[in-house]
Amino acid sequence: MTQVKRSIAALLLAALAVLPGFGCKSTATTQANVVAAQAKPITLEYWGVFTDTDDMDVLIKGFQANHANIRINYRKFRPEEYEQKLLEAFAEDRGPDLFTVHNNNLGHYLTKLAPMPANIPFFVFMKQGSGLSEKVVVTQDTRPGLTLKQLRDKFVGVVESDVLAFATPTSTQKSIFALPFFVDSLALYYNHDLLAQNQITKPAADWEDLLTQAQKYTKPADVDERSKGITQAIVPFGTGTNVHRASDLLVTLMMQNGSAVTAPNGRVSFNSKVVNKDGSEQIPGVDALGYYLDFADPKQAAYTWNTEQGDALDAFAQGRVPYYFGYSYDASTIQARNPRLNFDINPILTPRDSTTKAVTANYWIEAVSKKSRNINEAWLFISEAATNKDPLAAFLKRTKRASALNELIQTQLEDPDVGVFAKQALTSRSWYHGKDGAAVDAIMTTMIEKAHNVILTPAENQDTAKLLEAAVGQAATQINDTL
């Protein structure tokens, strides 16, 4: 960063050479003097989580190469402290200029955000002349903000639903409140060696295939009493608290089963009925929950997981299960915990013969504080960093993340680290979490746990289907109450 700072200082000092007192004071010179005086050094405070400073520097340096008067201080926080630090800083009017927000949590911070301006002014530094007569001339230019059509054309589909919001209660058109540098989605991790040792020649190709393999692979602790435990499980699936992102897995099943998850007005609707072509009715969200729970129900052929199996990621990293559903960021954790693990990644499973490739997206977006004194400069960085292909491509390669920019997806499709996630970026989906994403996730996990407990300890003459329908309906109501 030292070299960048020196370059910035040199350019700014050179620009000051055109201030009054140097040469004749024509109208053009006076205007140039005013512009040069306005192009004072600016420092943006940028807070984030999960992206390391060295990685973010790739984007920052790419930006500063064209904007010599803007310096960016990036600070990474631990996930467990991030939100509290943000809220404390905003309460004391010392918050950052720009900061990272989870894609499901825009509503939580909306009152603290500044939308992308229609036009973003910035300064241009140009060298003129050579040798002793060389000088830097400062001019002013404008970068137009993105239109809705440009947002749709440039970014994968899921982005639109996560970054748009009404700026005021009376607004008739939504504004852009954030932009992403990448997207992430659920995929299937698999252990080559464990599958081979059990004569499974290919990883599961669809949900039906997984069910068949589960019956073959799973080994209960007691053949006659399956409820006593499992000595060999195929996949962490069917429970809540010990399956990573269990709510995302369940919502993925719901979407693939035909549930809209949310209505056009943003209200949760995964408890709604749909009418099939034959006139019959079903609740796709309830059916998806039932399928999910079967993998943790000792009475079902799919049974392969329970709460005694420990943490899902630990089980896969330790080589105890051949499958794990996770995001791209899990790969580095798995490799760090077990460098010798022979694993690979496939796309998320889908129903057999289905054309629905929906998968839950989970990523971060970059936003600007409305209390920033440098809103234009902060938005200038976000808009350029999110769309400037060369620095962004270098950032994505370094961080092993899938692009949110359509133009870079094609370049990642054959990448062994992110190819699967790049393909899925085009079909990934999210759903509105309202003003408290953490509360919504907790409601979903609690629903899974309660339904699981009901199945494990059924009451006499229990109608399980009705109980699952009630559980899904209650969760929908609770989530809608938080919106």
Model pLDDT for residues 67-82, shown as the tens digit of each residue:
989 999 999 999 999 9
Contacts of residue 164, defined as CB under 8 A and 6 or more positions apart, other chains included, come to 148, 151, 174, 175, 176, 177
Please compute, for residue 408, the number of CA atoms within 13 A of its CA located in the half-sphere on the CB side.
24
CA distances, 36 to each of 32, 126, 468 (Å): 6, 12, 67
Q: Specify burial of residue 266 (Cβ count, 10 A radius: 0-12, 13-18, 19+).
A: middle
- Which residue type, as a one-letter code, is found at position 168? T
| Amino acid at site 290 | G
pLDDT higher for 231 or 365?
365
Q: What letter does residue 116 receive in the DSSP assignment?
A: P
Q: Are 87 and 61 in contact (CB under 8 A)?
A: no
pLDDT score at 118: 95
- pLDDT > 90: percent of the chain: 73
Say yes or no to pLDDT of 19 above 70.
Answer: no
What is residue 153's predicted lDDT score, i.e. its pLDDT?
96
- Which amino acid is present at 360? T
What average pLDDT does the structure give for the chain? 89
Domains, in order of start, for the chain: 2-182+364-412 (3.40.190.10), 187-360+436-482 (3.40.190.10)
- For 410-437, the pLDDT digits (tens) are 999 999 999 999 999 999 999 888 888 8
Q: What is the pLDDT averaged over residues 194-209?
A: 95
Name the nearest CA neighbour of 112 among 478, 375, 423: 375
| pLDDT at residue 71, as a whole number | 96
Distance CA 116, CA 34 (A): 26
Residues 76, 71: Cα–Cα separation, whole Å? 16
Say which residues have a Cβ less than 8 Å from residue 16's Cβ, sequence separation at least 6. 36
Looking at the chain, the whole-number percentage of residues with pLDDT higher than 70 is 90
Structure tokens at 157: 């589909």
Q: Which residues contact 289 (CB under 8 A, 6 or more apart)?
A: 250, 253, 254, 447, 448, 451, 468, 471, 472
At residue 459, the pLDDT reads: 79
Task: Give the per-residue pLDDT at 32.
Answer: 53
Give the pLDDT of residue 134. Answer: 74
Reduced to 3 states (helix: H, G, I; strand: E, B; else coil), residue 129 is coil
**Is residue 27 predicted with pLDDT exceeding 90?**
no
**Are the beta carbons of 155 and 428 closer than 8 angstroms?**
no
Kindly give the pairing relationship between strand 323-326 and strand 187-191.
Answer: antiparallel
Inform me whether the pLDDT recorded for 162 exceeds 90.
yes
Q: Nearest 5°: phi and psi at 158? A: -65, -25
- Assess contact for 74 and 48: CB atoms under 8 A: yes
pLDDT one-digit tens code per residue, 105-126? 999 999 999 999 999 999 988 8
- pLDDT (tens digit per residue) in 77-110: 999 999 999 999 999 989 999 999 999 999 999 9
Predicted TM-score (pTM) above 0.75: yes
CA dist., res. 179 & res. 56, Å (int) = 15
Q: How confident is the model at residue 256 (pLDDT cuts 50, 70, 90)?
A: very high
Q: What is the reported pLDDT for 223?
A: 46
- Closest C-alpha among 366, 321, 370 to residue 343: 321
The per-residue pLDDT for range 289-345, each reduced to its tens digit, is 999 999 999 999 999 999 999 999 999 999 999 999 999 999 999 999 999 999 999
pLDDT value for 136: 77
The confidence band for 222, taking pLDDT boundaries of 50, 70 and 90, is low
**Residues whose CB is less than 8 angstroms from the CB of residue 249 and which lie 6 or more positions away in sequence, other chains included:** 186, 237, 243, 292, 325, 360
Instruction: Tell whether the model's pLDDT for residue 25 goes beyond 60.
Output: no
